[in-house]
Structure formats: C-alpha cells, structure tokens
Copies of this chain bind each other. A is one copy, B any other.
Amino acid sequence: MKSDIEIAQEAKLLPIKQIAEGIGLTEDDIEPYGKYKAKISLDVYRRMQAQNKPDGKLILVTAISPTPAGEGKSTTTVGLGQALGRKLQGTGKTSMIALREPSLGPSFGMKGGAAGGGYSQVVPMEDINLHFTGDFHAITAAHNLLAALIDNHIHQGNPQRFDVRRIAWNRVLDVNDRALRQVVVGLGGVANGIPRESGFDITVASEVMAVLCLAADEADLKNRLRKIIVGYNVDKAPITVADLGAEGSMTVLLKDAIKPNLVQTLEHTPALVHGGPFANIAHGCNSVIATKMALKLADYVVTEAGFGADLGAEKFFHIKCRQAGLNPSAVVVVATVRALKMHGGVEKTDLATPNFEAVTRGLDNLSKHVENVQMFNMPVVVAVNKFPTDTPEEMAVISNWCAQYGIPVALSEVFTDGGAGGLELAEKVLDVVENRPGGLMFLYNLEDSIETKIDTIVREIYGGAGVQYAPKALTTLKKLQEMGLTHLPVCMAKTQYSFSDNPNLRGRPEGFTITIRELRISAGAGFVVAVTGEIMTMPGLPKQPAALSIDLLEDGKITGLF
C-alpha cells in the first residue's frame, strides 16, 4: 500500500469554494488561504444562530487505552465522516468532520502527521501538518508577547511587585527542542533585564491554545485571556493578564486564529480543522467554535478527543461539552486487536503474532471504557479498526463480546478503503443516533470540591481505590480555595496507556491509588490541571530526526514527511 503522503499527493482536491458551497456557504462567507484551505468568519456562525438554524447531531470518536503507535482515532474519525457522506448521498443530509490541527514541531521529530491516514485523511495534508493557516504561529506570538511584557514589567520598575521565583508563564515554540526546557534568561547586565530561571514549552501546551479552543467568540476569548494567571507577587497574590493589560494585544494577534479552518477529506467531505490543545495538561479536542459551527453547517458532525476514553472522552464531556452546552448523540470507541493483545499481556514486539487468548484477556480494557461512556448516559458503538495482521478469530473475540452485551459493533477498514470501508460503522452510528438518543449526564457537579471531582474521576472512570496528594498539590488546593476557584472542572494529566498513573498497568487494573503530584491553575482556560506523573511539555528530537530526511523536490513535492 502507498504511504500516507503518496496517497495525499495523488488526491484530486476540489477548490475550497466548491466544498464551501456544498455546506451552503457562498464565496463571500469564506476567506481562502490558497486554493484548498479557507477560514470561516465567526459572523457566519452568528448569522446562522440569528436565523435559528438547527444544530446537527454530534458524534464523538474515542478509543480504548492505546498502544504507543495509536489506535487510529483520527483515521476512524475521517473515515466515518466519509462513510456518512456516502450513506447520506441523495438524502439531502450532510456530514462533516471537526478535528484538531496538528503541531508542526513533532513532524520533524519522529511522529507522523495528525491528519488521519491511508485513504481516510484530511487534505492538503502537507499544509495541514506544516504552517496550515498560521493559527499556531499566532498563538506562539500572543503567548510570547505576554512573556516579553512580563519581563519588561519587572525590568521597567515592577508596579505589580512580581516575585521572580513565582512567574507561572513560560515561553513557547512549535519545535521539539529539549535544550529550551530549562533556561536562564535576562543575562548580560542591566540592559538585558532581570536574570531568572524560566523555560519553553511546545506551543500546543500554551494556555493560550486551551483558551482559544474553549472560547465562544472574540469577546469570550479576550475575557478568558484576562483571567490567565501569569505569576504571583511578593505577597503570593496572583497576577493576571488583566493586571498587565495585555489582553487587547493578545486578542488582536489571535483575531484570525479564532476562525475555524475549512478543508476537505480525500473524498471531499468538508472538515473543520481547528485548534490543538495538549491532551494531558489541557483538554485535547478541537475548538468549541469549530464544533458549534460544524453543527450549524451539517446534519452529522464527527469529532475526536485525544488519548483513550478515560482521558479524552471524560474531558470532552466534563470540560468542553459542559462549557459549550454540547449534547453528543453517540460515542464511537475505537478498539484494535493489537491493543487488546497488549492489554492481555503481550509484549510490544509480539503484537503481530496471532494470540486469541491475549485478545480475550484484553477485553477487560474495552469493557471498562464502554462502561465509562455509558456512565455519561451516552450510547456506544465499538469500531474495530482493522490491521493487516489481525486474524478473523481475533476479530471475532471483539464482535462476540459486543453481541453478548448488546453493544453495536462494526469492522472499520477506512484506512485501506476510505469511506467504503466504514459503511457498516456509519450504519450502526446512524441507527444509534436516530433511535437511542442519550442526553449527556455528568459524573460530578461544578459545585463539588476539587478533591471530590478528582476522587469521582479516579474511582468511577479509572476504577481506582483512592487519591493521594503530594504536599505541593495540597498547597495549591488551599490556594484554590483562597482564590475562589474551586468551581472549576478538573483536567487530568495522566498517562494514556493505563487507567492508573503507571503506564505499565495494562488491561483493567484495580486497587491502585492515583497520586496528584501538583495542581496547575489554568484560570483562563477555566480548569485545574491535576498532574499525576511526569508531564513532558517540550519534546526532544530523536537520534535520527525526521528533519534530516525531509526535502523539497525539484517538482515542488515534499518527501520524507510522514
């Protein structure tokens, strides 16, 4: 089979204005970026809202606890969108996709693209994985302008009395650069500011990214930016963006980044690809604005949440859906034979060897994820994302289990066959959406204490026995009470490979406790991050970075990317 980039480069794309027309948008409604990408102004959303245009149905794609290679959530999301498009042909109904934007930096390390795969990709794939429409660069600029304003504030006389040891705002760059993780800035004498310890994160880890992805509109964006806590003064009181007066400039820098990006899939299904917050220290899904706009533009919208359902779906429901008032109609849980095998005790190197028993043992991971989604009162469809090494016996393990518990299940071959490989899945999803309306329920209330929220997630979603707090976390708990921020939802930062905080505990572990090492306050985004392990917010490059084999050929084609 051809590589992702070969497939993407051979694709015949439709002009973006034609894609826009297909969802009822005129040429005036879109701002083209080249021939195959466009931004859609929020005015278009406001107009549709004023016209009381009804919302479409929202379908979330999530997954079991993944293997390091990933289980194909993005590919399934794109493939399902394409399959729905095929199913709906001639009905007058439309489908659309809402996805995160990939980060540029990791493309030059070792990670592949994040625009789907095989015959289920969003295109133009190279553009989407490189600068795209500049959203992440705008976030980088807004973030770093704030950083410069903080150091300038201190340098120029410091009316806010910053404690330079308690500045909570790093700088960011969209590059894998371990040497920037910990730095000392302000060296070289009086003209260069105050020396202090600091660091750089990758752009997707910026709170500005999380803010942009949760903002309802430009005014809400500015209001959230105002609330960001950038550090503490010598009396340990928080200093916010509003205290510095930086929110206006930051909003100006983000005025285009806030507009969703319209592209298409390989089968011309319209897709909004917008925003890309980290799935650990942030909530890990595309922007609220893109999801809400897609729901106005199409009858069925397929979207995705990062990591496994214990993290991605939980945060999608408790953070994104609650804030934005979204009510999804169905949840697809992607499972693979490979991942179940791993949860059944097989080593990473043996995943290609048929192992019926291991797949069977691994079912307990799938079952817990399915139960979890059902706890939110959401109907589940299991999608088995097929890999070439899967045997019919192994695949039957999953479908038999689903049949036994009455859970709709479908084989998905969207990687090799595009939308045609997802027709069964689309059918099951449509059936669930139309006939088993859910009605989202939350597992905790915002009025609960932070400890209760964490305890609820750990016990009910993870299946753990309890929670321990490191001293640093206890200090922040106290601070959250003082600051009156206990009403915020919790954003768990935990390994995606296990329900526990130990990545090696596969399957459905029990009796474990989760240790909260620290709590970070993302007051602008509007959540409290509960950190349960080492969270890497600036990746490094491997010994042989992809950057060394990427090239621009004489015919203008890119090679070596993915």
Q: Which residues of A contact B (CB under 8 A)?
A: 31-35, 39, 104, 108, 130-131, 134, 137-138, 140-141, 144-145, 147-149, 151-152, 155-157, 171, 173-188, 191-194, 197, 218-219, 222, 244-246, 248-249, 251-253, 255-256, 540-541, 543, 545, 547-552, 554, 556, 558, 560-561
Contacts and interface: CB of A to CB of B under 8 A. Distances in A.
B179 A155 contact: yes
* Closest 10 pairs (CB-CB, A-B): A248-B551, A182-B188, A137-B137, A148-B177, A151-B179, A179-B193, A182-B187, A152-B541, A249-B547, A134-B134
Given A248-B552, A249-B548, A34 B34 contact: no
Contacts of A33: 32-34
Most buried by B among A183, A251, A558, A561: A183
Contact of A32 (B34, B245, B253): B34
5 contacts: A137-B140, A182-B187, A219-B554, A248-B551, A249-B551
Nearest to A134: B134
A192 B175 contact: no
A178 B156 contact: no
Contacts of A251: 551-552
Contact of A545 (B141, B152, B180): B152
A28 to B, nearest CB: 9
A179 B186 contact: yes
A175 B148 contact: yes
Contacts of A252: 130, 550-552, 558, 561
Given A131-B141, A248-B550, 12 more contacts: A131-B256, A137-B141, A149-B547, A171-B180, A179-B194, A182-B192, A219-B554, A245-B548, A246-B548, A248-B560, A251-B551, A255-B558
Nearest to A174: B141
A124 to B, nearest CB: 11
Contacts of A197: 187
Given A35-B31, A108-B145, A550 B249 contact: yes
A547 B151 CA distance: 14
Stoichiometry, as copies per complex, reads 2
A19 to B, nearest CB: 15
A255 B175 contact: no
Contacts of A39: 34
A183 B31 CA distance: 40
Contacts of A249: 108, 547-548, 550-551
Contact of A149 (B182, B187, B188, B545): B545
Contacts of A244: 548
| Residue from the set A149, A219, A248, A556 with the largest chain B CB neighbour count within 10 Å | A248
In this complex, the member of A134, A194, A222, A252 whose beta carbon has the largest number of chain B beta carbons within 10 angstroms is A252
A145 B222 contact: no
Contacts of A108: 145, 249
A551 B221 CA distance: 12
A176 B147 CA distance: 10
A222 B552 contact: yes
Contact of A151 (B35, B137, B177, B548): B177
A218 B552 contact: yes
Most B CB atoms within 10 A — which of A39, A171, A197? Answer: A171
A375 to B, nearest CB: 38
A541 B148 contact: yes
B552 A141 contact: no
Contacts of A131: 134, 137-138, 141, 253, 256
A131 to B, nearest CB: 6
A462 to B, nearest CB: 28
A128 to B, nearest CB: 13
A263 to B, nearest CB: 15
Contacts of A34: 31-33, 39
Contacts of A218: 552, 556
A251 to B, nearest CB: 4
A419 B23 CA distance: 44
A179 B185 contact: yes
A43 to B, nearest CB: 8
A69 to B, nearest CB: 23
Nearest to A218: B552
A214 to B, nearest CB: 18
A20 to B, nearest CB: 13
A141 B177 CA distance: 12
B192 A147 contact: no
